[in-house]
Amino acid sequence: MSCLIILFLQCSCWVHPDLGVHAGSLFWTLNGRQLPSSLYRVLSPSNLSVTLAGLNASRQTSGDNLVCHNHKGHIMAGSCLYVGMPPEKPVNLTCWSRNTKDLTCSWAPGGKGETNISTLYTLKYKLRWYGKEKECEDYSHTQPYYCSITRDLHLFTPYEIWVEASNQLGQATSDVITLDILDVVTTDPPSGVTVSRVGQLEDQLGVRWEAPPALKDFLFQAKYQIRYRLEDSQDWKVMDDVGNQTSCRLAGLRPGTVYFVQVRCNPVGIYGSRKAGIWSEWSHPTAASTPHSERLMSGSCDSKSSGDSNSTLRRELKQFFGWVRKHAYGCSSISMKLYDQWRVLMQKSHKARNQVLQGDKS
């Protein structure tokens, strides 16, 4: 069996004359499917060819299996074909800078994916108004494709960046993107993240952290996000209103429950840039548990025989608590001292009432 590739694929199957098999009785299959006879050509009594055009790139790591059979279906000859394609325009070119110390760009092959033949991707860049064209050197040669530029970087000057793809069958160039390194800065995650109880407040945890070390000396403002989840859950709740402070109060939590907490950072206005940076990775999860609720532990209920004055007081406390919780929830800068005092007072009140009720029952 032999194959010839020009703008199409043509293969031939020879059978020995002594076998007494005529070429007209043979047929072809590609990946187990019989090819139509309109693609065949009897070149001689012992030679049957097949012509294939418009083949898609091979999708199997083993290649495409082209097989010649006799009239009974027995295999006479076969070949594994690896069909290559010229590259299409690379897409999704994205760049970021870690602490302004480097510039890393990633991209994806265009079209349906790989060309299935050796394809070279080259990341090129130059200063927008002057400077000569340069090539990135530190590549990842498997997907996801990326390359890191780690030297001779200029701040306050826009770069033009693009990717060129080439192989034996052709070449293609991505769209050119223009960026300033200061506009694509990302940081290390915040460090020193701690999570602790807020006194005996059963539904709250306090979170503290430090700004990313590498950016402490830069002229920038950071904004932070916090996310947290229950110990037995994979669903994270994200708080977007943290701002640039480095502490936060989580409220409305379940008493006696372990929570995992993470923090991330986004540099804003670094060196006067008008664009927000890129969110850092999340910090390593930090765990803490809320205190157990005295009410849940006592196992008692409110007495229905309480006086009207006690009912009125409880209702007023509940209304005030709801107002404070509405205005001081989350990570606002409002002082929560009064809120904490009322919460502790309420817990003590419930505890004292439950003790009285338990004494009445005995």
* Residue 353 main-chain phi, psi, to 5 deg: -65, -40
pLDDT at 227: 95
Closest CA to 64 of 84, 48, 51, 81: 81
Pairing, β 286-289 against β 27-30: unpaired
How many whole angstroms separate alpha carbon 9 and alpha carbon 50?
Answer: 8
* Residue 91 main-chain phi, psi, to 5 deg: -130, 175
- The residue written with tokens 């090539």 in the block is 135
- The residue written with tokens 């076998």 in the block is 19
pLDDT at 194: 94
pLDDT at 99: 81
Q: What is the DSSP letter of 247?
A: E
How many whole angstroms separate alpha carbon 2 and alpha carbon 78?
Answer: 9
Task: List the alpha helices (DSSP H) in 103-251.
Answer: none
What the block records as the tokens of 280 is 């850092």
Q: What is the DSSP letter of 72?
A: T
126's CB contacts (< 8 A; 6+ apart) are 132, 133, 134, 159, 160
Residues 308, 311, 316, CA angle at the centre, nearest 5°?
125
pLDDT at 200: 83
66's CB contacts (< 8 A; 6+ apart) are 3, 11, 28, 29, 30, 50, 78, 79, 80, 81
Mean pLDDT by runs of 10 across the 362 residues of the chain is 55 86 91 90 91 70 82 86 82 90 90 74 90 87 85 87 90 93 87 91 92 68 89 90 86 92 85 74 94 57 42 56 54 50 62 55 52
How many whole angstroms separate alpha carbon 69 and alpha carbon 25?
Answer: 9
pLDDT at 324: 54
* Contact yes or no for 271/220 (Cβ under 8 A): yes
Could you tell me how far CA 218 lies from the centroid of its own chain?
28
Q: Return the number of other C-beta atoms located less than 10 Å from residue 28's C-beta.
A: 22
pLDDT at 305: 39
Report helix, strand and coil shares of the chain as percent, to nearest 5.
20, 40, 40
pLDDT at 10: 83
Residue 312's Cβ-count burial label (10 Å; 0-12, 13-18, 19+) is exposed
* Contact yes or no for 228/261 (Cβ under 8 A): yes
What the block records as the tokens of 85 is 């394609």
pLDDT at 34: 92
| Cross-strand bridge partners of residue 50 | 11, 40
Q: Is the four-CA dihedral 128, 133, 136, 141 of positive or negative sign? A: positive
Could you tell me how far CA 359 lies from the centroid of its own chain?
57
pLDDT at 235: 93
* Contact yes or no for 222/266 (Cβ under 8 A): yes
- The residue written with tokens 């804003």 in the block is 268
What the block records as the tokens of 297 is 């532990």
What the block records as the tokens of 336 is 């929560």
Q: What is the DSSP letter of 312?
A: H
* Contact yes or no for 158/179 (Cβ under 8 A): yes
